[in-house]
């Protein structure tokens, strides 16, 4: 049966805090980037690194890391089918703060996109499955080695191998689905490993030490490997294609594959009624539609007015750390503020 258990409530609260921190971090870093550009005369988008000396940018980076930490812990308390879609709320936080703080106009369709994301998230939360009680990392290992999930892992690895060695050299720079497909496929495995690792650490802090088991360290290795691959190919995607195209495609593919992997490995939908499952799917579609709508309206706004920017959605740390300034290269920076904003002119 769906419902909010105590564990689910903890996971939802952590996921909401994560979205708030991550969404706010983009605005804080944006302010830091503008201040650094005004002082140095060189923007981060064209190779400047003055933002590394700007305290406001570091505050934004610390805020983002705090949000990622909250998201990591959320996976230890709630199912991935609940936590992952809630990552879209960071866009709403960022777009709203940008409207009031950075004076970036949010179009009416953008407001509709925000409402759709919120409505879809509420539906997902209300009908989400209860978190399954897990007693040890070895129990998770048993889930990871069941035939159905091994088939999924094998399929992912084969697809990634084909994309990397066959399609990437031929059409990687002309077809956006190649690089984003690699990121999304590896991302679904990284989230499963993150949930396994987070659960192991939670059990360890509760007094049931899981660090003595090799499975815990194996999951840590998988997380590191998948994140490195995600960062590599996401950088390639963002360097080749428009961010407004990459971000929604990546979000849709990543979230869909993550939910599929979680349903197979952790059997999130076992015991749920058909009504609850259909409601979750409808909520998920509403979140995806709202995300795409918000991105499309922000892209239109950016194309019609210089000095507009937005915080791209990204459910994983690798997405947000793909560039040093926390924003993607193809975004246009705001015009530099007047020089009198700087204490000293370099």
Q: What is the CA radius of gyration of the chain?
A: 20
Q: Closest Cα partner for 188 from 151, 223, 150, 142?
A: 223
* Whole-prediction pTM: 0.78
Q: Which of 3, 260, 11 is nearest to 127 (CA)?
A: 3
Beta-strand ranges (E) seen in the chain are none
Closest CA to 295 of 314, 277, 268: 314
What's the pLDDT score for residue 118? 92
Count of other CB atoms within 10 angstroms of residue 190 = 26
Would you state the pLDDT for residue 157?
96
Nearest to 143 by CA among 215, 213, 83, 198: 215
Rounded Cα–Cα distance for residues 184 and 260 (Å): 12
Which residues are within 8 A (CB) of 202 and not within 5 positions of it... i.e. 6 or more apart? 73, 76, 77
User: pLDDT of the chain along its 346 residues, tens only?
Assistant: 445 678 889 999 999 999 999 989 988 988 888 888 888 777 755 566 777 888 988 998 899 899 999 999 999 999 998 999 998 888 888 888 888 888 878 888 888 988 999 999 999 998 988 888 899 999 999 999 999 999 999 999 999 999 999 999 999 989 989 999 999 999 999 999 999 999 999 999 999 999 999 999 999 999 999 999 988 898 788 778 876 677 778 888 998 999 999 999 998 888 888 999 999 999 999 999 998 888 777 655 555 444 444 444 444 544 454 444 444 344 444 444 444 444 443 3
What pLDDT is stored for residue 337 in this prediction?
A: 45
pLDDT for position 344: 43
Q: What is the pLDDT of residue 239?
A: 78
Show the tokens assigned to 114. Answer: 């925000």
In sequence order, the β-bridge partners of residue 2 are 129
């Amino acid at each position: 049966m769906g419902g909010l258990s105590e564990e689910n409530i903890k996971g939802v609260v952590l996921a909401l805090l994560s979205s708030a921190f991550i969404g706010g971090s983009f605005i804080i870093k944006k302010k830091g980037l503008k201040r650094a550009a005004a002082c140095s005369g060189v923007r981060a988008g064209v190779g400047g690194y003055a933002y590394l000396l700007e305290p406001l940018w570091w505050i934004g980076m610390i805020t983002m890391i705090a949000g990622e930490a909250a998201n990591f812990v959320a996976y230890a308390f709630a199912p991935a089918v609940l936590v992952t879609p809630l990552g879209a709320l960071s866009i709403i936080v960022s777009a709203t703060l940008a409207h009031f703080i950075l004076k970036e106009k949010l179009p009416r369709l953008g407001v509709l996109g925000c409402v759709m994301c919120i409505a879809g998230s509420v539906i997902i939360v209300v009908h989400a499955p209860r978190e399954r009680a897990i007693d040890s990392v070895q129990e998770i290992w048993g889930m990871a080695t069941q035939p159905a999930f091994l088939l999924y892992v094998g399929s992912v690895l084969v697809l990634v191998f084909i994309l990397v060695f066959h399609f990437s050299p031929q059409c990687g720079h002309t077809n956006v689905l190649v690089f984003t497909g690699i990121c999304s496929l590896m991302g679904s495995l990284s989230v499963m490993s993150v949930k396994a690792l987070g659960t192991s650490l939670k059990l360890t802090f509760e007094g049931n030490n899981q660090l003595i088991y090799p499975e815990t360290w194996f999951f840590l290795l998988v997380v590191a490997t998948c994140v490195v691959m995600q960062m590599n190919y996401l950088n390639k995607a963002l360097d080749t294609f428009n961010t407004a195209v990459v971000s929604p495609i990546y979000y849709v593919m990543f979230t869909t594959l993550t939910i599929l992997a979680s349903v197979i490995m952790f059997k999130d939908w076992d015991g749920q009624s058909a009504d609850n499952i259909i409601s979750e799917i409808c909520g998920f579609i509403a979140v995806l539609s709202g995300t795409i709508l918000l991105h499309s309206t922000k892209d239109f706004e950016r194309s019609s007015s210089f000095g507009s920017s937005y915080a791209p959605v990204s459910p994983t740390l690798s997405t947000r750390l793909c560039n040093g300034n926390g924003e993607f290269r193809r975004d246009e920076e705001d015009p530099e503020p007047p020089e009198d904003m700087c204490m000293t002119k370099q």
